[in-house]
Structure 1
Amino acid sequence: MQNPNPKNPLHGITLKKMLEDLIPFYGFDTLGELIKIKCFTDNPSLKSSLTFLRKTPWAREKVEELYLKTLPKLIGKV
């Protein structure tokens, strides 16, 4: 079966997976500095961040952009 969306580097990567990779790599403090949203600065948790980001497209886009920029570092860490 062919990949239905080969040009989208985020195809098949869930928002939860992105956060599970970004949180240990940066920590909530640094994420809150890089992306100025309260779900990373005020009593942050994976669950509250997922809830907010699923409802807020502009914030999710920022997380996706950071994930794409960070992906080479994440891959190199393995």
Structure 2
Amino acid sequence: MENKSSKDPLHGITLQQVLEELVNYYGFDTLGELIKIKCFTDNPSIKSSLTFLRKTEWARKKVEELYIRTESRF
């Protein structure tokens, strides 16, 4: 039986998985409109976005919040 004690909706999901699912669902263009950060609008890539998001707490929080709101659509 699996332990479901964690209340964190992102438990066990990496930032890379979050970003890849959002990019697959929205694309960088729409993602850049929803979350106005340069790594989504100026020459975007998964690698450069991950580098920025790992260093920038407020931006990572915005991405995680969007993922949680969008999660049921995946």
Q: What is the TM-score of this pair, normalised by structure 2?
A: 0.93
- Specify every segment of 5 or more residues in structure 1 that has no aligned partner in the other structure, as ranges: none
- Specify every segment of 5 or more residues in structure 2 that has no aligned partner in the other structure, as ranges: none
Shift of 1:57: 0.3
**1:23 maps to which residue?**
23
Aligned residues: 73
Measured against aligned partners, the alpha-carbon deviations of 1:5-38 in whole angstroms (never above 9, x if no partner) come to 5110101110000011010110000000000000
The percent of aligned pairs where both chains have the same amino acid is 70
Is 1:8 aligned with 2:8?
yes
Aligned CA-pair RMSD: 1.2
Shift of 1:2: 3.2
Q: What is the TM-score of this pair, normalised by structure 1?
A: 0.88
Q: Secondary structure at the match of 2:43?
A: coil
Q: Which has the higher contact order (CA 8 A, sep 6+)?
A: 2
- Following TM superposition, where does structure 1 have runs of at least 4 consecutive aligned residues deviating by more than 4 angstroms? none
